[in-house]
Structure 1
């Protein structure tokens, strides 16, 4: 009887500890629509929805207050130095690999160069981009990709927001705008710019996105989260997955 009672108290303590610590994870997300976007005082987006789903599947749900919208550099630095942090939309490279524990890949992101259809630009190779004026939002993921790919800051038309970049593109002040493929339609539509007047001239980079957890995270949780993500993305007999349905619903809510 004493053994049974002790077991019950142990299980109860474990449950309460897990519940109490669920919000002790902080999820750091840089602005990267539609993967992570600011919606009032909360952070939403398709990656946020995916992280919420698998964390809940593993019994460690996150609340809205767990998410912080931060610059990329801060997110990587903080998660490398501070316990119980998660980077949303992390890039896994030989440099970042040993600094975090990884869940994913979650989905792929394409960094693309978009221009006016009527300009009929010819860009067969990445090196040909140097011929053109390229607008990029300062400190954004697309700008970071261009800088890592060999562009100097002085070679880019760096703007504080996508609004300025798109206005410049529409007016012919620049030839191309660097953005991610999934997020581009909502950016153009938000400014009343007709999508059929623009075209993707070059896919600069395609990268898988991950959730990067600070090194203190239990390996057993990382394993469970990867299995949960695999289950979340698996398709049923009708060719549908919870992942696909969740992403579609989330994309609609972003409009």
Structure 2
């Protein structure tokens, strides 16, 4: 009888214990953020996705395409903070978010830039001069949020539901500038049938380190291994390029 009771107690304690995420069963989430996280039919691609799958494989914790999903920013941050075995792509690490997740990174640094037509030959030496120009943004996008957090007034922005409308405003002359990431701008322009060579970066508004934010139940040993794997692929090789550089050379 005593043995049965002891076994029952261990079962109850085991059921009540919070699971710790180690290998497998992770779900990764990210909002559209070219070129780091983009939709590709039924799957999600991009620099962040490729980097995550590479280091997860290196740590014998593979993650499949079906476990990587596009979600709104707010949902991703909330889900990774409150649910188990979640990964948030392209997360911002700061005082407000530091204690909510376990961190791998920085993975990359995104430059938030303002691009315009080369023929306009704009001169923007400081942020103060930006008030003289109209800026097209994608509503609720990371570049727009960066501008607002940096002191830009919302009413001064020409906000659009997608980059398609925003770039049309830029191309037509309705807007002087368009807020984007430096790497994403060329992809967005080419996707619209516009020549990237006809546009130029006129101002770098901010630089944003990007991380993978893991839910707090993730095993610390896995977090250490993933950070080590990331360091390994970013280490400079004999020809001056890291494996990370070669992955995205094209």
Q: Is TM more than 0.5 here?
A: yes
Counterpart residue number, 1:80: 81
C-alpha distance after superposition, 1:195-214 (max 9, x if no partner): 22211110001111110111
Counterpart residue number, 2:52: 51
Please state if 1:140 is matched with 2:137. no
* CA distance in 2: counterparts of 1:123 and 1:86, whole angstroms: 38
Counterpart residue number, 1:4: none
Tell me if the contact between 1:23 and 1:66 (Cα under 8 Å) persists in the aligned partners: no
Q: CA deviation at 1:22?
A: 4.5
Please state if 1:174 is matched with 2:175. yes
Counterpart residue number, 2:223: 222
* CA distance in 2: counterparts of 1:119 and 1:246, whole angstroms: 35
* CA distance in 2: counterparts of 1:113 and 1:89, whole angstroms: 20
Counterpart residue number, 2:32: 31
Q: CA deviation at 1:148?
A: 1.1
Q: CA deviation at 1:120?
A: 1.9
User: Partner of 1:183: helix, strand, or coil?
Assistant: helix
C-alpha distance after superposition, 1:190-236 (max 9, x if no partner): 12212222111100011111101111111111111000101111122
Counterpart residue number, 1:187: 188
Counterpart residue number, 2:17: none
Unaligned runs of 5+ in 1: 1-19
Unaligned runs of 5+ in 2: 1-20
Paired residue total: 230
Counterpart residue number, 1:3: none
* CA distance in 2: counterparts of 1:152 and 1:123, whole angstroms: 17
Q: CA deviation at 1:119?
A: 1.5
Q: CA deviation at 1:124?
A: 1.0
RMSD: 1.5
Normalization by structure 1: what TM-score? Answer: 0.87
* CA distance in 2: counterparts of 1:128 and 1:144, whole angstroms: 19
* CA distance in 1: counterparts of 2:86 and 2:167, whole angstroms: 34
Over 3 Å counting, the alpha-carbon distance change for 1:175 and 1:126 in structure 2 is same
Counterpart residue number, 1:116: 117
Counterpart residue number, 1:71: 72
User: Partner of 2:61: helix, strand, or coil?
Assistant: coil
Counterpart residue number, 1:153: 154
* CA distance in 1: counterparts of 2:227 and 2:69, whole angstroms: 23
Q: Which moved more, 1:73-82 or 1:143-152?
A: 143-152
Counterpart residue number, 2:236: 235
Tell me if the contact between 2:22 and 2:219 (Cα under 8 Å) persists in the aligned partners: no
Structure 1 runs (4+) greater than 6 angstroms displaced: none
Q: CA deviation at 1:179?
A: 0.3
Q: CA deviation at 1:189?
A: 1.2
Over 3 Å counting, the alpha-carbon distance change for 1:180 and 1:129 in structure 2 is same
Tell me if the contact between 2:22 and 2:222 (Cα under 8 Å) persists in the aligned partners: no
Normalization by structure 2: what TM-score? Answer: 0.88
User: Partner of 2:116: helix, strand, or coil?
Assistant: strand
User: Partner of 2:183: helix, strand, or coil?
Assistant: coil
Counterpart residue number, 2:129: 128
